[in-house]
Chain A
Amino acid sequence: QITLKESGPPLVKPTQTLTLTCSFSGFSLNTSGAGVGWIRQPPGKALQWLGFIYWDDDKFYSPSLKNRLTITKDTSKNQVVLIMTNMDPVDTATYYCAHRNFDAFDFWGQGTMVTVSS
């Protein structure tokens, strides 16, 4: 049974750095083919793909956010971390992590709401 859960601060100030952790079980990022992605959803809006990290540490980011995003993994802890710098109110959203299935996603975390406000 694959499960994922996001955690992090619910509130960050403009210009601050956001760090979110995706803790997962039921698979290993040491296994060939495994991957975890990050997706966000502003209130009332559509899903936005943010980035992906693979078992071999290959990473891909949304071009519009590439300069602000870093995704890392800690296979010993079964965690993936998303770091987003220079947060702005437009970054207010629910952030999801999800398990790779043929580069789509089959299992999703419950999401964590992040508000950017002073």
Chain B
Amino acid sequence: DIQMTQSPSSLSASVGDRVTIVCRASHGISSWLAWYQQKPGKAPKSLIYDATSLQSGVPSRFSGSGGGTYFTLTISSLQPEDFATYYCQQYKSYPHSFGQGTKLEIK
């Protein structure tokens, strides 16, 4: 199985900050990576697929980069509605594992 490791596990930031979340895969996954945002009590929301492609309707302040084993999710200017937990997911090979999540909190 491919293990996905996110860092940091939690992060405090302020509105307007630029933040980056890292996701590492235990084996190379090319660009087969997605990012999701989840707010408390809600289903995850798709942000990015294929490592860099923005899902329809997602604000352009979200961006994804990377390939192979190293990936990042960047929010260029944090908005109040961005405080949530973020998950990466690989879909290169089964099982399509998720990272453990990164909780983004208000400073």
Count, chain B residues at interface, CB 8 A: 23
Contact string against A for B residues 90-107, beta-carbon threshold 8 Å, 1 for contact and 0 otherwise: 010011111111000000
Q: Does the CB pair A104–B101 fall under 8 Å?
A: no
Given contacts A46-B100, A108-B44, contact A62 B95 (CB under 8 A): yes
Q: Are B45 and A108 in contact (CB under 8 A)?
A: yes
A110 interface residue per 8 A CB criterion: yes
Q: Indicate whether A63 reaches chain B with its CB closer than 8 angstroms.
A: yes
Q: Chain A residues with Cβ under 8 A from B95's Cβ?
A: 49, 60-64
Within 8 Å by CB of B89, from A60, A61, A104, A110, lies A104
> What is the distance, in angstroms, from B100's C-beta to the closest C-beta of chain A?
5
A24 part of interface (Cβ distance < 8 Å): no
Main secondary structure of the interface of B (DSSP, over half): loop
Q: Which residue of B lies closest to A99 (CB)?
A: B46
Name the B residues within 8 Å of A106 (CB-CB). Answer: 46, 49, 55
> Contact flags (1/0) for B32-55 with A, using CB distance below 8 Å?
101010100001111001100001
Q: Which residue of A lies closest to B56 (CB)?
A: A106
Q: Does B83 contact A (CB under 8 A)?
A: no
Q: A96-B43, A111-B43 are in contact. Are A102 and B91 (CB under 8 A)?
A: yes
